[in-house]
Structure 1
Amino acid sequence: MTCDIETLDFYRLHLPAVGEHSLRHVRRIVRAHLHHWELPELSDAAELCVTELLSNVLRHVPDPTCTVTFRCLGGEAVRIEVHDSSPDVPYIRVTGDLLGENGHGLVLLAAVTDLWDAEPTATGKKVWFELKRS
């Protein structure tokens, strides 16, 4: 795990391989940054969503190396992005199995966040979300 602090409002974390230990560390880092940015009320939702996105990398990307960025947006919101090497952009799947364990992550992301999207990049894709202070 390496990190790069470019400004006080931006943080980048490179995870050479996502795993359960990495998820715990990333959640702690998210909580610490949101506290520092005086957005602690967004911590629970941000931790839930970043865990979901990183779990998807672990579950669906052959090389679970990824980069996570956090950005404070004017002191009123946060944007978190997860970049990975897979070109497969996820989409919400409508299934009849509402109690199943899989396929609900993006539905959760859409329900919890103010904005989210998935976009192809030159090296794979990024999935991002924004949470705004109420």
Structure 2
Amino acid sequence: MGAHSARHLRRILRLHLVRSDLRDVADAAELALTELVANVVRQVPGRRCRVCFQLRPGGVRVEVADDCPELPVPAAADALDEGGRGLVIVAAVADRWGVTPYPDGPGKTVWFECLSRAVPPAPRP
């Protein structure tokens, strides 16, 4: 995965969200996805991961899985630090997020969920 991969994944995610009437979560979901992909680029040897979008009624769940045994931890970055805020940003823009370690080997899935606040259209009589 290269640094440009986040742009392509954001575009794909936005297309799915817009087509599923989840446009109101697109900005938050794109930002959180960008942060998780940036973490892979910076922290995961070989930069290999799997990305999954799960569109659900009223929201989206995004998962980024890799085989790196190190679990991400939100950092308390200094105001002048150039990095270290990725998971803090994810926590700020997503409704829920977490890390699920693989039970049978090294690796984990970092995930987040963004829930829609849009009012669903009323059913037609």
So what's the TM-score if we normalise by structure 2?
0.86
What is the total number of aligned residue pairs between the two structures? Answer: 115
User: Any stretches of 5+ residues in structure 2 without a counterpart?
Assistant: 118-125
| Counterpart Cα distance in 2 of 1:37 and 1:20 | 27
Does the residue aligned with 2:14 lie in a helix, a strand or coil? helix
Measure how far apart 1:123 and its partner are.
Answer: 4.6
Taking only aligned residues, the RMSD between alpha carbons, in angstroms, comes to 1.2
* Max Rg structure: 2
Query: Greater strand percent: which structure?
Result: 1
Q: Which consecutive segments of 4 or more residues in structure 1 shift more than 6 A? A: none
Q: 1:127 aligns with which of 110, 113, 119?
A: 110
Percent of aligned positions with the same letter in both sequences? 47
Bigger drift between 114-123 and 55-64 goes to 114-123
**Aligned residue among 86, 97, 120 for 1:105:** 86
Equivalence map 1:54-65=2 (5 Å): 54-65=37-48
Q: Establish whether residue 32 from structure 1 lines up as the match of residue 15 from structure 2.
A: yes
User: Quick one: which amino acid aligns to residue 109 of structure 1?
Assistant: V
What is the letter of the counterpart of residue 44 of structure 1?
Answer: D
Report the alpha carbon displacement of residue 45 of structure 1 after superposing the two structures with TM: 0.9
Instruction: Flag structure 1 segments of 5+ consecutive residues without an equivalent.
Output: 1-17
Indicate the residue corresponding to 2:120 in structure 1.
Answer: none
Partner of 1:115: 96
The question of 1:48 aligning with 2:31 is answered yes
SS at 1:51's partner residue? helix
For 1:106, give the aligned amino acid: L
Q: Assess if the C-alpha contact under 8 Å between 1:116 and 1:127 holds in 2.
A: yes
